[in-house]
Chain A
Amino acid sequence: QKEVEQNSGPLSVPEGAIASLNCTYSDRGSQSFFWYRQYSGKSPELIMFIYSNGDKEDGRFTAQLNKASQYVSLLIRDSQPSDSATYLCAVNPAGGGNKLTFGTGTQLKVEL
């Protein structure tokens, strides 16, 4: 079982719709969770982090964490073509020191 799992996609949504990206993790003791966006040929950039159960909102982005079910999700409201990218979920495992473990990413396509 991979430590962090994501559906590779592509996930296609129409412009203006809500995009929902999901991630599950295996280490129940994980404490920190991150979403990165990566455009083709570019480096990953941080868009959200969440540490506590529940929702965290930042503009059009909402991160949701459910530690009991070991999943974290990212909602993108009013999706724009510029949101088309690969979204990487990252987890800081318990006892893993400072290292971040990444999922393989979900490709999002926002269509006009």
Chain B
Amino acid sequence: NAGVTQTPKFQVLKTGQSMTLQCAQDMNHNSMYWYRQDPGMGLRLIYYSASEGTTDKGEVPNGYNVSRLNKREFSLRLESAAPSQTSVYFCASSPGQGAEAFFGQGTRLTVV
């Protein structure tokens, strides 16, 4: 059981480049999340998907788009990367309403 798997683990982008962060879970969870973590800011929710076929904005959605491809996969896309998007990105999944979330290993993204 791999749990939540994120790819890539590290990435360096130039300003203006685009990329997609991939996330997959094998726990048959309904809900999936994308967070970013910056020093002193804690984990901030970017987007989440309560169930397959639905997505909603979180606290800091600007500059990002998401796709819930199927129940297993939830991707995060940066269309035009900016230095302010330098961060550690975590994908998480949860069985559903009110339940705990399980995290992937994170993607460390640097935008130069």
| Residues of B1-33 contacting chain A, CB below 8 A | 30-31, 33
| Residues of A77-112 contacting chain B, CB below 8 A | 88, 90, 92, 97-105
Distance of A44 Cα from B45 Cα, bound (Å):
14
Let me know if A104 and B105 touch, CB within 8 A: no
Total residues of chain B contacting the partner, CB 8 A: 29
Distance of A70 Cα from B58 Cα, bound (Å):
23
| Number of residue pairs spanning A and B whose beta carbons lie under 8 angstroms apart | 62
Let me know if B106 and A43 touch, CB within 8 A: yes
Q: How far is the CB of A57 from chain B (nearest CB, A)?
A: 17
- C-beta contact mask, B35-76 vs A, less than 8 Å → 1, else 0? 100001111110010100000101100000000000000000
Let me know if A99 and B99 touch, CB within 8 A: no
Q: How far is the CB of A10 from chain B (nearest CB, A)?
A: 13
**B96 / chain A contacts, CB cutoff of 8 Å:** 98
Distance of A33 Cα from B97 Cα, bound (Å):
12
Binding site for A on B (CB under 8 A): 30-31, 33, 35, 40-45, 48, 50, 56, 58-59, 90, 92, 94, 96-106
Q: How far is the CB of A2 from chain B (nearest CB, A)?
A: 9
Chain A: CB-nearest residue to B51: A98
Let me know if A43 and B105 touch, CB within 8 A: yes
Binding site for B on A (CB under 8 A): 8, 31-32, 34, 42-46, 49, 51, 88, 90, 92, 97-105
Chain B: CB-nearest residue to A3: B59
Distance of A33 Cα from B48 Cα, bound (Å):
18
